[in-house]
Structure 1
């Protein structure tokens, strides 16, 4: 018989797995941009909406976690990596465009 704890572990594992994939997914773009300085295919509306979207969502998650006392570290990982990556891509767009 499955317990509530095993279901929680399963769904928490899914959360970790999904957020690790999302965190890693941006790294090839960052590496390619770093190496080639090619930012021609990036458009500002996309970059800014993505950057501020992940930033504001991270603030929302942190606020909710502090209020509830439960930390959702998979989400923290995903959003921290994406914040750094998107703001680097915005910086690269400014410098290399």
Structure 2
């Protein structure tokens, strides 16, 4: 692994790890009032795009980070839809 991918994996770990506490808190509290569905959808679509880009560039760090973040952001979209009071 070259130093560029090492930088990528470090950034991937930090940005992915920063997102996980929000997913956990939302899951535990079921409070989605502060989450914006349009923002979550745009974010999810953007992360899918980055994941595809990572595969096309054959970048393990981008694939790693964006795979985890796609799942995490999907859960937030799911929680937002499920727990929004009608």
When normalised by structure 2's length, the TM-score is 0.88
Q: 1:56 to 1:64 in 2, by over 3 A?
A: same
- CA offset at residue 15 of structure 1? 1.2
Q: How does 1:1-97 map to 2 (within 5 A)?
A: 9-65=2-58, 72-97=59-84
Unaligned 5+ residue runs, structure 2? none
CA contact (8 A) 2:48 2:66 kept: yes
Deviation, structure 1 residue 80: 0.5
| RMSD of aligned Cα (Å) | 1.4
Query: Does the CA contact (< 8 Å) of 1:23 and 1:77 recur in 2?
Result: no
Q: Which runs of 4+ in 1 moved over 4 A?
A: none
